[in-house]
Amino acid sequence: MISLCTLGACVQYTSPSRTTWSQYLAGASFIDMNEMSRTAKKPVFFGGGGRTVTDAVKKDSLFEYGDKTTNDNAIATQYMAKLEFELYDALRKPGISVQRAGTDVVIILVRDAIMELNVADISQTGDDTLNTITKILKKYDATFLEVAGYTDAMRDKNAANALSLDMAQRVGVYLAQHGINTTRMFIVARGATRPIAGQDNIGRLTNRRVEIRIAPAR
């Protein structure tokens, strides 16, 4: 057990050696998650025990008639709405937000909310947060996940990409260690692209983040 508390003392989570990350992330795809990449990944995902949202939801009589595509869309919308609510209710913490993007749900994790201030590793608070996310993602397993790292504006684009990849992989490894099937995962580094805040001191801290985008499997 990673976050083991005995006799009032908690063992701090520490990421495994970087040399082992490829083993933990075997099955993950290191490309953007989009409709095409999800379609290509489906055989591996379903072969590894994955299922569609329609299979995961017990359909009631309302979905027994009518157009299949319309019904499947309605089922996916309801499934993702429940997922969004559970995440939102469980993640009311500074530096963390849950948003909708169409059918998808996006968790925004500001770096300082989940990682040590001056060390490239998951903090105790981040351990608690990611553990909560993991439990919900296990429950809503008929989904694909994109774990994307972002930085603030940096002069060296290569350094920005390396830092954002480290953050994304570190979170991906945590999820894999805690039982999330890597065939669900897409891991990407986006450097300083797509800022969500200005480039003042507060904005720069906000732009250093990991986003977990969750999409229904169909």
Q: How many CA atoms lie within 13 A of 202 on its CB side?
A: 1
Q: What are 107-154's pLDDT values in tens digits?
A: 999 999 999 988 889 999 999 999 999 999 999 999 999 999 999 887
Question: By C-alpha distance, which of 55, 52, 79, 74 is closest to 63?
Answer: 74
CA distance 198 to 194: 11
Q: Provide the residue ranges of all domains of the chain, joining segments of one domain with +.
A: 28-216
Edge-to-edge strand ranges of the sheet holding 96-101: 96-101, 104-110, 209-216, 143-150, 185-189
In the prediction, which pLDDT does 34 show? 97
pLDDT band at 197 (very low <50, low <70, confident <90, very high): confident
CA distance 194 to 197: 9
In the prediction, which pLDDT does 196 show? 83
CATH architecture of 28-216: 2-Layer Sandwich (3.30)
